[in-house]
Chains A and B, each alone.
Chain A
Amino acid sequence: MKWFISHDTLRSPFQATIERHCKERIGHCYQCGKCSAGCPIAFQMDYLPNQIIRMIQLGMEKQVLSSRTIWLCASCLTCTVRCPREIDVAEIMDYLRRCAYKKGVIPIEETEIPLFNKIFLRNIELFGRLYEMGLIGMYNILSGEFFKDMALAPKMFLKRKIGILPPRIKNSKEIKKIFRESGRLGRTRRDKLLHPKLIFLNISRKIIGKIERFK
């Protein structure tokens, strides 16, 4: 792959913004690659974690925010504890995802992960505690994988591991307030929580995948 780095990208404030928000010194990275060596998900990523750090140094905001890597990172913190320059790589990945949410950058691949996160949060906002049936059902419908894990559900019921009815707690008003206020203070638009484009992309990808397998 060829990258064109221009004056503009090199002078972009991307690195400085991240450094200020995460309180990390990205400039300290000397590209030893230790973060990527230990990363359990590296085999699926398009750019390795150390490459992401380098791309930030070069101001390549667009490529970084639309990469698959930031969504595939499992927040396992292996990179963070091993970096010899004490850079919290996992926190930077977190920041990049939040940044992508805020700017509305929707990944072309790996759409399942942002979709899942949003359904999860909506679930908590509604019930206060995780309602597994609601989460799995909603996720299956919106992601286009209608029968995913259907075989597991009866076993889980029999072992009384998931309930049919949502949990009920008293302070649901306060929870809604926490979500509303966090959205306001963090300047995250919560009406985008279930973005139609995200759902559409997801379902269409799943259906295309099924047709191709069928062929």
Chain B
Amino acid sequence: MRYAYFPGCSLHSTAKEYDISTRAVAEALGIELLEIPDWICCGATPAHITMHLLSLALPVKNLLLAKEMDSYEVVTCCAACFSRLKIANKIMREDPEHRAGVNEIVGQDYKGEVKVRHFLDLLVNVYGLSNLSEKIAKKMDGFKVACYYGCLLTRPPEVTKLDDVEEPHMMDDIMRAVGVKTVEWPYKVECCGASFSLTKTDIVLKLSGDILQMARDEGADAIVVACPLCQSNLDLRQPEINRKLKKKFDMPILYFTQLVGLALGIEPKKLGFDKHIINPAKLLV
């Protein structure tokens, strides 16, 4: 299995552990991820609320780079990149007016033919959960996790085509397949405040605080995420949440790839467990 890999800006900086653990898991499972050479930022939220054409041209440029690699499937891990790439593809397929504009901007002809997959999708629907279960090397039933999906992984469903919008279960399925216990909780698709981390920090603190509270109330020992923005809002800002909202959260926020890697018997050091602000050491014993 070979795929063009689009890490995105976050996975090269604030979410390094997501990148490291994804590559480690892919290697252990025999999935080849080839990084798209000279990929550029997908534009994220600031692009689509400022200039519509730009927000399409940036992802399309990346998809074109992937096409040059002769790889007709792109794999990404970041929920925001995933959403931008998927939306760009859909518009390029269905909207001739925008297609003409974007093709003029990038100077190439593109009709939305490069497929885009989230790494979650790859594990569940291509690799298969039963195949994954067979590879378990380490038992991990000493703790319970709450799987948090956030906004962009499942919405809008006609674009992402990934999971149920209100009750997603893909990550829960993976966790159970590798032997990690999950809790049922109602905040799976709540919003963490997303890109307001720098601008409206108060909003982020409140929304992320609510999510942490609900996870703790439902008996979770850690939260598992698939989005670098969710992770940094919940992990990096957790000390600030504790200070401002007078709470005592000590909730590790992990990427699903890190736990899958652990279950496959990969050393914690190779999965970036040392990069968290809230130390997950208590789960690793």
Contacts and interface: CB of A to CB of B under 8 A. Distances in A.
Answer yes or no: do A and B interact. Answer: yes
Interface of A: 40-41, 44, 72, 74-78, 80-81, 88, 94, 97-98, 101, 110, 112-113, 115-118, 120-121, 124, 128-130, 132, 136, 139, 143, 148-149, 152, 155-156, 159-163, 167, 169-171, 174-175, 177-179, 181-183, 185-186, 188
B40 A175 contact: yes
Given A72-B200, A81-B155, A178 B105 contact: yes
Contacts of B124: none
Residue among A77, A88, A136, A171 facing the most chain B CB atoms (10 A cut-off): A77
Residue among B40, B49, B58 facing the most chain A CB atoms (10 A cut-off): B49
A2 to B, nearest CB: 29
Interface residues of B, number: 54
Nearest to B80: A75
Interface in B57-96: 57-58, 61
Given A98-B50, A130-B13, A169-B38, A76 B151 contact: yes
B53 A74 contact: no
A142 to B, nearest CB: 12
Residue among B12, B157, B166, B200 facing the most chain A CB atoms (10 A cut-off): B200
A177 B47 CA distance: 15
B229 to A, nearest CB: 11
Contact of A77 (B51, B155, B199, B275): B155
Given A44-B203, A124-B41, A80 B155 contact: yes
A128 B41 contact: yes
B200 A112 contact: yes
A90 B53 CA distance: 17
B236 interface: yes
B275 A161 contact: yes
A145 to B, nearest CB: 9
Contacts of B200: 44, 72, 110, 112-113
Given A169-B38, A182-B51, A183-B51, A78 B191 contact: yes
A185 B198 contact: no
Given A81-B157, A113-B200, A130-B9, A75 B49 contact: yes
B48 A94 contact: yes
Contacts of B224: none
B236 A152 contact: yes
Nearest to A149: B198
Given A121-B46, A130-B13, A174 B61 contact: yes
B40 A148 contact: no
Interface in B176-215: 189-191, 193-196, 198-201, 203, 207
B277 interface: yes
